[in-house]
Chain A
Amino acid sequence: MTDPGDTDRCVLVVDDDAVLRRVVRAVLEADGFSVIEASDGEQGLKLAAEVHPGVVILDVMMPGMDGVEVCRRMDHTSTRVLMLTALGDVTTEVASMEAGARGFLTKPFSSMDLLDRVEELLKT
């Protein structure tokens, strides 16, 4: 059994853009999080089920399974999902909420907002 205190500080980043994953990873790691990455929805679901990260950061727009669908299939008892959306995309936000997402971050976002949001989610 993995120590839940450990995996809480673990963040899974699911985004098809490798550069964006690397940058988000750098920001999170600089603040003391451990980060794992997935480049698509299927891989994201698999990793989330194995590792039980405290937070999953999920890009809405991905080839293959889209972020809302990934969110719907996620096990929300062990993790909190933070969706990356486009500014003003209210329909996506509503759909994500219904799929169990706990928060949104509109792209482009500041690293401070990213860290604040992840930290907030971990308190819930």
Chain B
Amino acid sequence: MSDWDPPSVPDPAAALEAQLLVFAKELGESYQRERARRLELERAYGDMRVAYLQTTRSLALVVEAKDAGTGAHLERCRNYGMALLNEMGVADENREAEFGFLLHDAGKVGIPERILNKPGPLSAAEWRVMRTHPVVGYQLVADIPFLRTAALVIRSHHEMFDGTGYPEGLKGEEIALAARAFSVVDAFDAMTADRPYRAALPPDQALAELIRMSGTQFDPGVVRVFAPLAERLLPPAA
């Protein structure tokens, strides 16, 4: 015989309803918490990406300064490059290409300044040294999983569409798309910016040059997308 008497029985339907209400309320609260956490995570990710980009930019500027550059070229390459990838509809799968655009010449840390800034033409030996910079740059970031696309941009930004570039002599689609895109914007910016030894080309002439080199130096598909974009990107000629 039990020495315990059950307490009076509450209405079971009411008890069940109370229980289900608790679960339902909990569901709503947990959804709210989840959403708040997601927003927080997205914000943190955004902040981190900005910080990462600033750090990358600082590193790239160090190299650019050694090469007597100002950083404006890097920033324009990044802008043009991202706009181009966007226009090509491949920006999402190539988001880290941005880091590659900034770091494309990072391998020049390994090139002596007397070669980088030599006023006259380079000797064959000096060229051999100069042409190591894509691979040196690639090795700098190759072990960073997050920078895989960026690493390909760095390694392949001197490849040519017809296979006559360096370091590997890759041809056509063997060259990563982001690298093919980059070589177009890099060349365009080089042509439309003033250099100590020549004035900037007007954008239409630079474009004509890109089109002329379509299929040899550049991917014709990329140039086709870039041509209408170039006019929008470049501020009207001063």
Interface residues in chain A, defined as those with a beta carbon under 8 Å from any beta carbon in chain B: 17, 19-20, 23, 27, 60-61, 66, 68-69, 72, 86, 89, 91-92, 95, 107-112
Contacts and interface: CB of A to CB of B under 8 A. Distances in A.
B21 interface: yes
Contact of B6 (A23, A61, A72): A61
Interface of B: 2-4, 6-7, 9-10, 12, 15-16, 18-23, 26
A68 B20 CA distance: 24
Nearest to B25: A110
Contacts of B6: 60-61, 66, 92
A17 B19 CA distance: 12
B32 to A, nearest CB: 14
13 contacts: A17-B12, A17-B16, A20-B16, A27-B23, A72-B2, A92-B6, A92-B7, A95-B2, A108-B21, A109-B19, A109-B22, A110-B26, A112-B26
Q: Tell me the dominant secondary structure on chain A's binding face.
A: helix
Contacts of A66: 2, 6
Contacts, number: 46
Given A20-B16, A107-B18, A108-B18, A92 B23 contact: no
A69 B3 CA distance: 10
B16 A91 contact: no
Contacts of B9: 61
A36 B203 CA distance: 75
Nearest 10 pairs between A and B by C-beta? A95-B4, A108-B19, A108-B22, A108-B18, A110-B26, A68-B4, A66-B6, A69-B2, A110-B22, A89-B7
B19 A107 contact: yes
Contacts of A107: 15, 18-19
A64 to B, nearest CB: 11
A110 B16 CA distance: 13
A45 B194 CA distance: 89
Contacts of A20: 16, 19
A23 B20 contact: yes
